[in-house]
Amino acid sequence: MSVCVSRPKLNWRERIYLPAIVGGMAITIKHLKNMLLGRTKVTIQYPEQTLDSEMPEHYRGAPALVRDTDGRVRCVACQLCEFICPPRAIKIVAGEIPPTDRFAKVEKYPAEFDIDMIRCIFCGMCEEVCPEQAIYLRKDYAITGFTREEMVHHKDKLLEIGGVMHGVILKWNEKK
């Protein structure tokens, strides 16, 4: 069953549309005047100006891997971040630490660690689930690349952009 809705009857002022056009032009002129007098900031000049100083504390950018102060990778390849990632953007291939190594108790290290930045939704779940604080979200909003292959960040690139993180590292703790 269809319902017929009748159009409202317009008076002569509404039919000529002149008041609506004048009202729209008044708003446009007001915005132009405020912009010319410097009362309104329209945009930032992106390559020269950035928002780095104005980023909120809770901002979540792209994920990165970190090293400890001795240059070792903090990741133990537990693959929790890979399992928790909703869009399946993280791929980890674990390698074994040789039994003769001093840190053989750790057992694994990430032989390969890839994050597909095209698939990443910057949710922060990988950072929350990591038991070793090896992955964190940095305050970077300019993640670009010309090809899809450039947007897959491999272990070396993730470690390069992540840098060094200071603090307690559970996996290297001798008492653990």
Q: What is the pLDDT of residues 46-98, one digit of tens each?
A: 778 887 777 888 888 889 999 888 788 889 899 999 999 999 999 999 998 88
Report phi then psi at 43, rounded to 5: -155, 170
Residues 69 and 172: beta-carbon distance below 8 Å: no
Domains, the chain, in order of start with CATH, read 54-162 (3.30.70.3270)
User: Can you tell me whether residue 103 is helix, strand or coil?
Assistant: coil
User: Cβ–Cβ contacts within 10 Å for residue 75, how many?
Assistant: 26
The predicted-structure confidence for 154-166, as pLDDT tens digits, reads as follows 999 999 988 887 7
The DSSP bridge pattern shows strands 90-96 and 108-116 to be antiparallel
DSSP H stretches of helix in 47-150:
80-84, 125-129
Tell whether pTM > 0.75: no
User: 126: closest CA among 103, 176, 92?
Assistant: 92
Residue 154 to residue 171: CA distance in whole angstroms: 23
